[in-house]
Amino acid sequence: YMRLARKENLMTTVDNMLLLRCLQVLRDRKEQDFDTPYILNVSTETLNDTGFMGDLVTFLSQHRGMSARLIFELPQDEVEALHSTISPVLDGLSQLGVRFSMDRVRSGKIDINLLKSRHIRFIKFDAAWLIKEAQSHGGAVRVHRLKTQLDAAGIDLIVEKIETEKALREL
């Protein structure tokens, strides 16, 4: 549905509805499941919606327990293309405890300093991509170097889409 939502300029509406519903669930379950994070895909259109983001920062500053449970996820191409005007929004959300994740990684060329400036705390790699990269000439060294750099920056590497036991063993 995301392709259609983008085409119809509905991404901000979809993101807002999902985020508001998530906040309702967090409010209703604040006594239970206190440590369970909620991961939400967020579009750059939503981050650029200054009115909504301003309201969100205000709300979360009054409900800090909720913000620590939110993880906003953005694809690599959007993280890399974020305009510097988004930085105050990311800074404010991060200061409130919201964490950020990068997914849909299409390139192993990761700018660690950029990720840190965007407050990225998690990066998701597709298992098949990691296996293919590690099996290429010098790939295992590159993957190990990347993991070491991410660890040093305080960014957790998450491997997703592990579909078979063979893939798990290879990883």
Task: Write the pLDDT tens digit of every residue in 10-48.
Answer: 888 888 888 888 888 887 776 566 678 889 988 888 888
pLDDT digits (tens, 9 = 90+) for 131-143: 999 999 998 999 9
What lies within 8 Å, CB to CB, of 107 at 6+ separation is 76
Tokens standing for 28? Answer: 């209703």
pTM: 0.85
Alpha helix (H) residue ranges in the chain? 2-7, 11-28, 44-47, 50-62, 64-67, 76-81, 87-95, 112-117, 127-135, 139-153, 165-170
HSE-up of 37 (CA within 13 Å, CB side)? 13
SS (H, E, C) 110-134: CCHHHHHHCCEEEEEEEHHHHHHHH
